[in-house]
Amino acid sequence: MDLDSLNHRHFPAVIIGAGQAGLAAGHELARRGFTPGTDFIIVDANDGPGGAWRHRWDSLTLGKAHGIADLPGMPMQRPDPDVPASQLVAEYYGEYEREFAFNVVRPAQVTSVAPEGDQLAITVAGGAGRRDEKKATPTNVVIGADAVLSATGTWANPHIPFVPGIGEFKGRQLHTKGYTRKEDFAGLRTLVVGGGLSAVQFLLELAQVTDTVWATRRPPNFTAREFGTNWGLAVEDAVRERTFHGQAPASVVRTTGIPQRPEYLQGVADGTLVSRGMFDRITRTGVVFGKPFSDTADGLGPSSHAKLQVPESWNPYPAGTSIDVDVIFWNTGFRHALRHLAPMKLREPGGGILMRDEVRVRKDPRVFLVGYGSTASTVGATRAGRQAGRAAAAYLRGGD
């Protein structure tokens, strides 16, 4: 379906995003009698299928990632653990779109969703080749809808915390989103920032070609818990309470933990996976570390390091320690990509969005958030898509 042909057309529902949550929502709407292309459309900002997975680095395989949940109605065949996840998931999502005739409209970057009487006006950045005859800039396409299911995830909104001096650093800075391959770091000293699984995997990968230093705000939380369905549900429970009360979702890093896999424990033993604490200032050539963290109930401090065979020489840096680095690699997570919903004025004073349940927004029944808060994971996104499709179908048919 061509984006240009949608200008000023109206649909009962528009799904924004063709990742796991958006496709699951589309499947549920179709299952409930809504016809793709007539009763609802799916628009996606990417050039092709795969959602955020299509942008992941080649060294990330489904054997290294937490995993990917099956989409409803068409399970993923057993994936090759050595093939890049970006390729496997893009192929799977593409097959899924074709199987259910979704005809996803792409590339279609939604820039705003705004109230327009009883309806919603969805503005999409100009279609391919559409240009105003008198201007060099692309024109916009506006689509009308009775309901919007926003499944835009987090990949488009990387988070880098402000640290004094961040603009003074003369070396290279990049976020997880900008990583391509380890060879780009060869011969450099790299400071990896962040306490999540991505940072752990990058540290092990980069240690093959670069001198690494790990910086975390809290002691790394190596957990003996198995990373299965029960783990995912526990993570959701830890986040849900905040989102239901209109607070901004908590960082996933605070709730997931790092599994004690043999390769990770070896990385601890050889000093690669030992945090040196957190810096509180950035200089032109490096960083200056602040007060070291200590033993805490929710992580590993110096005394519990011994349980994982951490050498004494790898304890956190003393306050005021200055080190030079060539690269600052921020693995500091993402925030929900919801800027397009700003005209709807959904946020509470605390920065979050008050929810009626996992998908329904309390302030406006026309807006459904798919994969927000507690369901922003491969475990929860499919369930959230189903819930959103079911709730949107009920709303469009006059239900609550």
Contact 281, 163 (CB under 8 A): yes
SS3 category, 123: strand
Q: Are 97 and 104 in contact (CB under 8 A)?
A: yes
Q: In whole angstroms, give the CA distance from residue 283 to residue 169.
A: 6
Query: What is the rounded distance in angstroms from the CA atom of residue 295 to the CA atom of residue 393?
Result: 50
Dump pLDDT digits (tens) for 236-278: 555 555 555 555 555 554 556 788 888 988 898 888 999 999 9
Q: Identify the band that residue 320 occupies on the pLDDT scale cut at 50, 70 and 90.
A: very high
Give the whole-angstrom CA distance, residue 62 versus residue 332.
21
The pLDDT tens digits of the residues spanning 33-57 come to 999 999 999 999 999 999 988 888 8
Q: CA angle, corner 209, sides to 205 and 212, nearest 5?
A: 70
Which pTM value belongs to this model? 0.83
Domain residue ranges in the chain = 3-156+334-397, 172-330
Q: Which fold has domain 3-156+334-397?
A: FAD/NAD(P)-binding domain (3.50.50)
pLDDT tens track for 178-199: 999 999 999 999 999 999 888 9
Higher pLDDT: 128 or 138? It is 138
Question: What is the residue-averaged pLDDT of the chain?
Answer: 84
Query: What share of the chain has pLDDT > 90, as a percent?
Result: 56
Q: Is 397 exposed, middle or buried (0-12, 13-18, 19+ CB in 10 A)?
A: exposed
pLDDT on residue 291: 85
What is the token pair recorded at 182? 């380890």
- Mean pLDDT, to the nearest integer, of 6-23? 96
Indicate if 172-330 has the same CATH topology as 3-156+334-397: yes
CATH number given to 172-330? 3.50.50.60
* Model pLDDT, residue 43: 97
What is the band of 221 on the pLDDT scale with cuts at 50, 70, 90?
confident
Taking residues 194-216, what's their average pLDDT?
93
The pLDDT, as a whole number, for residue 197 is 86
Q: Give 150's pLDDT tier (boundaries 50, 70, 90).
A: very high
For CA atoms 59, 379, 334, 387, give the dihedral sign: positive
Confidence check: pLDDT of 135 > 90:
no
pLDDT at residue 299, rounded to an integer? 41
